[in-house]
Amino acid sequence: MSTTASKKIAIVTGASSGIGYAITKELAQHDYIIYACARRLEPMQPLVDEFSTSIIKPYKLDISILDEVITFKEFLEEELSGQKLDLLYNNAGQNCCLPALDISDADMQKCFQVNVFGHINMCRELSKYLINAKGTIVFTGSISGIVSFPFGSIYSATKAAIHAYARGLHLELKPFGVRVINSVTGGVNTHISDIRPLPKDSIYEFPEGKEAFESVQHMTDNYQPMSAEVYAKKLVGDILSSKDPVDVYRGSSATFLSFFSSIVPYFILESALIKQFNLTKAFEVLKGKKVEAKKQD
């Protein structure tokens, strides 16, 4: 067993960029040893150079592949001192910004495999280490799991699913002294926007539709997102706290949007989304096409 017994041990998935990278660095500054997991290891080299391989331990892992998760579990069997894991930070994510009717089966499966099934598999396979340590599990949730933004229905569905799973897990792990935190995340400057163009046969493939689509694609950049570093400081503060919430709200507008969506009727929220993301003109064009088609019939 190679880890240092006196230090706390963390696993962070999706550690090669954005929130995962910032969380890994913040944990290292709080004297954790971190298994920094990602599909690409090269981007984490600056962290290794800054903190050394005794603190940052890069591990190549695709959480969407169950065999890789199981192999990682077997690796930890030999690595973890006392068979204890203090923190599992489930951060790896797959964005998916396309109209609901344009999502291919492959895109849908990929998004759910990473955002939902991969995290569930990690929790199940590593649970004994967390229970042994009375550790903490964290999920990078999203305000999208509460508010379904235009062209983000599949991504929203994955985040709503992981919110529900986190809450159930929070309840079931109480007797074991394991905390579960779901970070309902608002705007964070991570540069992971899905910038694929609309499919050529999309019902929104016309100038006004593309304008609305691009507005959604760049919504995080346009609304003063929180830096990943500030977000990480807040989340590590939640981890180090003795409090045991299910949901915490971090990132720009997370608290406001969660509260707003809980008190207003859905039709008002929907009207606000139409206005905010320039959908009015697109809807007028689509209604015009519908009228024209009826005339031709």
Dump pLDDT digits (tens) for 89-104: 999 999 999 999 999 9
Q: Which residues contact 27 (CB under 8 A, 6 or more apart)?
A: 10, 12, 34, 87, 236
User: Is 262 an annotated catalytic residue?
Assistant: no
Global pTM reads 0.92
Tens of pLDDT, residue by residue over 207-239, are 999 999 988 888 766 667 899 999 999 999 999
73 among known catalytic residues: no
Q: What is the mean pLDDT of residues 108-119?
A: 97
Known catalytic residue at 8 = no
The DSSP secondary-structure symbol of 175 reads G
Model confidence band, residue 291 (pLDDT cutoffs 50, 70, 90): very low
**Average pLDDT rounded to a whole number, residues 253-261:** 92
**Measured distance CA(64)–CA(60) in Å, rounded:** 12
Q: Tell me what percent of the residues of the chain surpass a pLDDT of 90.
A: 85
Domain parsing of the chain, residue ranges? 8-203+226-264
CA dist 172 and 16 (Å) reads 31
Residue 219 CA to residue 209 CA, distance in Å, equals 15
* pLDDT grade for 6, boundaries at 50, 70 and 90: confident
Contacts of 31 (CB under 8 A, 6+ apart): 7, 8
What φ, ψ does residue 48 adopt, rounded to 5°? -60, -45
Range 8-203+226-264 has CATH code 3.40.50.720: yes
Q: Which of 25, 57, 84, 159 is catalytic?
A: 159
The DSSP bridge partners found for residue 57 are 35
Average pLDDT of the residues of the chain:
92
* Per-residue confidence (pLDDT) for residue 281, from 0 to 100: 94
Q: How far apart are CA 37 and CA 16, in angstroms?
A: 8
Q: Alpha-carbon distance 165 to 42, whole Å?
A: 32
Q: What is the pLDDT of residue 115?
A: 97
CB 36 within 8 A of CB 15: yes
Question: Looking at 8, 16, 57, 64, which residue is catalytic?
Answer: 16
| Residue 224: predicted pLDDT | 78
R_g of the chain computed on alpha carbons:
21
Report the alpha-carbon distance of residue 251 to residue 228 in Å, rounded.
9
pLDDT of residue 1: 46
pLDDT higher than threshold 90 for residue 109: yes
Which one is catalytic: 89, 155, 231, 249?
155
